[in-house]
Amino acid sequence: MSTTDGTETDASATRTRSSDKDPRDRQIVAALAKGLEVLRCFERPGEELTVSEIARRVGLTQPTAWRLSHTLVEHGYLVRSVDGAALHVGMPAVMLGYAAVRGLSLLSLAQPGMRDVTRRTSLTTTLAMCHSEEMLSIQQVDGEVVVTEFQSGWRTSLTSTTSGLAVLARMNEADRKESMQRLRDRDLDAWPRREERILSGIAQLERDGFVRRDDIAGGRYAAVGVAIVEHQHHVNGMSRRYWGLSCGGPQALLHRTQLELAGEELILLQNFLQSALDIRAGLTP
């Protein structure tokens, strides 16, 4: 985990364990609280951890971590890897996640992940919704430097932001063709430049999994972006709503690898949110 100065810290040093919240609360079952903290270690899809890694993250002794993990394995909440060296989440834990996902909005699902991305990168993370040919900022988690020009609630053209370009790149062919035609009709003189951005964004998304721009606001800001598709059921069928996630900051303060790390973090968050939305829409068995 990265601190604001970019140094690495032990995850157990910054995680607030539920068993530590109020040691005077006699109603808390300490062993259960520690077991839940073990499950919370598995933050990313497909993540596998050894007992030693779990002990370090939760701040437990090796024997305690082993007993808790063994108990979770016996009840199916954790499963041993093929070689037996590591553990990953089991179906009972996954089903609890499915139940939670069905009752939460995208904003509620995204906020914890956005905070994690900002914590790991020190950059500002933004969730924006596509509306017509514009992106509307819905939620923002500020990084080390507060970008006053781009506070929550901003609205701008699809082709002016990384999240908008990611949305265009993620759209199905029919939706993209319609959006591009409207953008062209809105400003014929600006269209060649905008079309070039769109085509570049499509190529970047296919190659890297995210879109990057280093020339935002005249080159003062840089950011990476990904897109999410929300399928919504209606009486007459199903429609699509597109969302964009971006992460960035002032160009002058960015480290060389900071945006690449941000892009990787956004892909992980995108995969989680897309799976959650597909489950809620009934697109996943």
Q: Are 148 and 172 in contact (CB under 8 A)?
A: no
Tell me, yes or no, whether 192 lies in a domain: yes
Regarding whether 57 and 123 lie in a shared domain, the answer is: no
Q: Can you give the pLDDT at residue 19? A: 42
Q: Can you give the pLDDT at residue 47? A: 83
Distances from the Cα of 180 to the Cαs of 159, 168, 227, 237, in angstroms?
10, 8, 17, 24
Tell me, yes or no, whether 5 lies in a domain: no
CA 40 centroid distance within chain:
16
Tell me, yes or no, whether 285 lies in a domain: no
Regarding whether 109 and 133 lie in a shared domain, the answer is: yes
Per the structure block, which two tokens stand in for 35?
A: 């077991």
Tell me, yes or no, whether 57 lies in a domain: yes
Tell me, yes or no, whether 124 lies in a domain: yes
Q: Can you give the pLDDT at residue 186? A: 87
Tell me, yes or no, whether 85 lies in a domain: yes
Regarding whether 212 and 116 lie in a shared domain, the answer is: yes
Secondary structure letter of residue 76 according to DSSP: T
Per the structure block, which two tokens stand in for 52?
A: 């030693």
Q: Are 34 and 61 in contact (CB under 8 A)?
A: no
Q: What is the pTM of this model?
A: 0.65
Regarding whether 39 and 135 lie in a shared domain, the answer is: no
d(CA 168, CA 170): 5
CB proximity list for 245: less than 8 A, separation 6 or greater: 110, 114, 125, 126, 127, 128, 163, 166, 225, 226, 227, 228, 266, 269, 270, 273
Tell me, yes or no, whether 20 lies in a domain: yes
pLDDT tens across the length of the chain (285 residues): 333 333 333 333 334 444 445 555 678 888 898 999 998 888 766 789 999 999 999 999 999 999 999 999 999 999 998 888 899 888 887 777 655 555 557 888 888 999 999 999 999 999 999 988 889 888 899 888 766 655 666 788 899 899 999 999 999 999 999 999 999 998 999 999 999 999 999 999 999 999 999 888 888 889 999 999 988 776 677 788 899 999 998 888 888 788 999 999 999 999 989 988 888 777 765
Regarding whether 70 and 146 lie in a shared domain, the answer is: no
Q: Are 9 and 3 in contact (CB under 8 A)?
A: yes
Q: Which of 74, 100, 126 is the last residue of a domain?
A: 100
Q: Can you give the pLDDT at residue 207? A: 95
The CATH number of whichever domain residue 165 belongs to comes to: 3.30.450.40
Regarding whether 144 and 94 lie in a shared domain, the answer is: no
Tell me, yes or no, whether 2 lies in a domain: no
Regarding whether 107 and 87 lie in a shared domain, the answer is: no
Regarding whether 81 and 133 lie in a shared domain, the answer is: no
Q: How many domains does the chain have?
A: 2
Up-side HSE of residue 153: CA atoms within 13 Å toward CB? 2
Regarding whether 176 and 73 lie in a shared domain, the answer is: no
Integer-rounded Cα Rg, in Å, for the chain is 21
Domain extent at residue 225: 103-280
CB proximity list for 270: less than 8 A, separation 6 or greater: 226, 227, 228, 245
Regarding whether 234 and 117 lie in a shared domain, the answer is: yes
Regarding whether 144 and 80 lie in a shared domain, the answer is: no
Alpha helices, DSSP H only, in the chain? 11-14, 30-40, 51-58, 62-74, 91-102, 106-121, 162-170, 173-186, 191-208, 258-280
Q: Can you give the pLDDT at residue 150? A: 57
Q: Which of 100, 125, 153 is the last residue of a domain?
A: 100
Regarding whether 169 and 87 lie in a shared domain, the answer is: no
Q: Which of 100, 125, 147 is the last residue of a domain?
A: 100
Q: Can you give the pLDDT at residue 6? A: 34
